[in-house]
Amino acid sequence: MKDSNSNSNSNSTTTTIRTEPIAQNVIKLISNLCFSIFVFSVLIFTVIAITYQPPDPWLQSSPALTNLFTQTQNSTFQIDTSVIKTGEDIPLSPQDSPLPLPSSAVAANATPAVTEALIQKSEEKITNSSTACEDLPETLNCSDPRVLITIQRFNLRAFKSISFFEYRTPVNGSVPGECDVSWRFRNKREKSWRKYRDFRRFKITVTDDCHYKVIHAGRFHSGTNARRNPALRSRTGDGKGKTVPLISTRDDEINDTIPTLGSESNFRNGSMYNPSNKDEEGKDFRYYFDFEHLKEVASIVEEGEFLRDWKRWDKTHLKKRKVPVRKVVTHKVTPMQLQKDKTTVIWRQFDSPEPENYWYRVCEGQAAKYIQRPWHALWKSKRLMNIVTEISGRMDWDFDAVHVVRGEKAQNKELWPHLDSDTSPDTLLEKLKGMVQPWRNLYVATNEPYYNYFDKLRSSFKVHLLDDYKELWGNSSEWYNETSLLNNGKPVEFDGYMRVAVDTEVFYRGKTRVETFYNLTNDCKDGVNTC
């Protein structure tokens, strides 16, 4: 019995000794596992906190503001309930433009460019294409579809840098054998979806195999009989002291009317450009920028009208809680500092003199990740771009260009010691001879005020300057009439900023482009020691 009991006790002791380490190990294992899960969770949370980019709080609609505005049946505020589209949501242009199309421009751009394949299809639809020569009328019939096909093929061969759209049926020119035709077009280098218009005069003949052939093509805008409303030209006076009402010759693709909230609006506060380089109030934003495109990519309300309607709206809603507003009058308050602000409307004001208070300074630093500067929304005015296409078209889109910076920079020898001599007429001529083929059309974009400064270049090139085209903004031009209509019938100055805009865009369309601070001089663009 003793032996038995002793054996039993011995076995029990052994079992206990063996099971105790296992339990301790299990507890340690569970503890380590829980700690690992905790550490891994902290790591994941840290990564999310670092990489997460919350939506821009300044672009989110406030529910309180939306409710207040939409509760009233006769509210003067019109709320757009559609989803705001971004560049990623909008399909790209099927044509040459790399930029996204605004929604309302999709229909306008739906017409495909005229290509050889489309011309071939049109030709196949024409019956009796093998008409005998004796069956052709003695007098050229410009409305014959084969005439248009001949002109389309000629344009594709002659202007390879242009995309053509929306040809109209040709009409008779000034004499028999001539046809005028109009179309829409876009330069293949154009970065927008906009189209421009041209109308030209073509001299047509019949070949020995009874086909039409273009033997001469007029210059840009030479086909005046194909122009819409060709008689719509107007001046501010009739020579007898009476004022002649301005007749609109506006481009029918320009729609820069101001969206109203129920009252007359004033949009002449904010753009400040003139030759004196000093701020001047009263310049209409639409003189310089494409307001139609801006409306497409952003919600636009004119400030003065908004304030008037808001004040009137507040008076009619005295029983309700007013919308809280916070005015921020300095760029030093960053968007990140306003992130937790509960105010429904945060109103930024940029009243201090520039450059201390440029509006885009609020987008710098930490906020740059969330607030993108809206350069994509600002295009040059189509009225200015129509002048650009007119100048380029008169050179048949076949020209080279040089940008010559002079003005005050050429006189400042401390910052630009060689600029004056490097852009002198003799030096210019020698340098351009090595870059531009002789007797090419050469457009000179410059701020040199003396017109005859570039006369020496005329010995080797066909020189064109902006002032050679003054009639394009003169008092009988479309630009003059359209901008005067925007300015309540008063003439608008073609100022320094407009000149720079047109000069720059024509320069970009040159086949060979010669830059001042890259090709003509070794001086640094921003002065000495800034290269």
DSSP, residue by residue, 118-151: HHHHHHHH-S-TT--GGGS-SS--TTSHHHHHHH
Contact between 440 and 400 under an 8 Å Cβ cutoff? The reply is yes
**Rounded distance between C-alpha atoms, residue 115 and residue 165, angstroms:** 9
Quote the CA–CA distance of 271 and 280 in Å, as a whole number.
8
Give me the pLDDT at residue 136, please.
Answer: 67
In the predicted structure, residue 354 carries a pLDDT above the cut 50: yes
The pLDDT of 135-144, averaged and rounded, is: 79
Residue-range definition of the domain harbouring residue 176: 107-226
Q: State percent of the chain over pLDDT 70.
A: 70
Considering only residues 234 and 411, tell me which one the structure prediction assigns the higher pLDDT: 411
Q: 306 in a domain, yes or no?
A: no
Q: pLDDT per residue over 237-255, tens digit each?
A: 444 444 444 444 456 677 7
C-beta of residue 394 within 8 angstroms of C-beta of residue 424:
no
* Highest mean predicted confidence (pLDDT) among 282-286, 314-318, 319-323: 282-286
Residues with Cβ < 8 Å from 3, sequence gap 6 or more?
A: none
Report whether the peptide linkage leading into residue 54 is cis, meaning its omega lies within 30 degrees of zero. no
Give the span between the Cα atoms of 407 and 405, in whole angstroms.
7
- Please give the Cα distance from 248 to 250 (Å, whole number): 5
Q: Does residue 146 sit within a domain?
A: yes
The pLDDT, as a whole number, for residue 119 is: 87
- 130 in a structural domain: yes
Name the domain count of the chain. 2
Boundary (domain end) residue, out of 226, 245, 279 = 226
β-strand pairing of 196-206 with 171-172: unpaired
Whether 370 maps to a domain, the answer reads: no
Looking at per-residue pLDDT, the higher value among 325 and 149 belongs to 149
What whole-number distance in Å separates Cα of residue 396 and Cα of residue 185? 13
Prediction pTM value: 0.66
Separation between Cα atoms, residue 497 and residue 289, nearest integer Å: 11
Cα 241-242-246 angle, rounded to 5 deg: 130
Boundary of a domain, candidates 226, 258, 292: 226
Mean pLDDT of the chain: 76
* 72 within a domain of the structure (yes/no): no
The whole-number pLDDT of residue 110 equals: 62
Q: Pick the range with the lowest mean pLDDT from 147-151, 183-187, 248-252.
A: 248-252
For residue 324, give the nearest of 34, 62, 82, 145 by alpha carbon.
62
In the listed set 179, 203, 226, which residue is the last one of a domain according to the structure?
Answer: 226
In a domain, 477, yes or no: yes
Domain assignment of residue 58, yes or no: no
Judge whether 286 lies within some domain.
no
Q: Note the pLDDT tens digit of each residue in 15-56.
A: 444 545 777 777 888 888 888 888 888 778 777 766 655 444
Give strand ranges (E) for 41-176.
162-165, 171-172
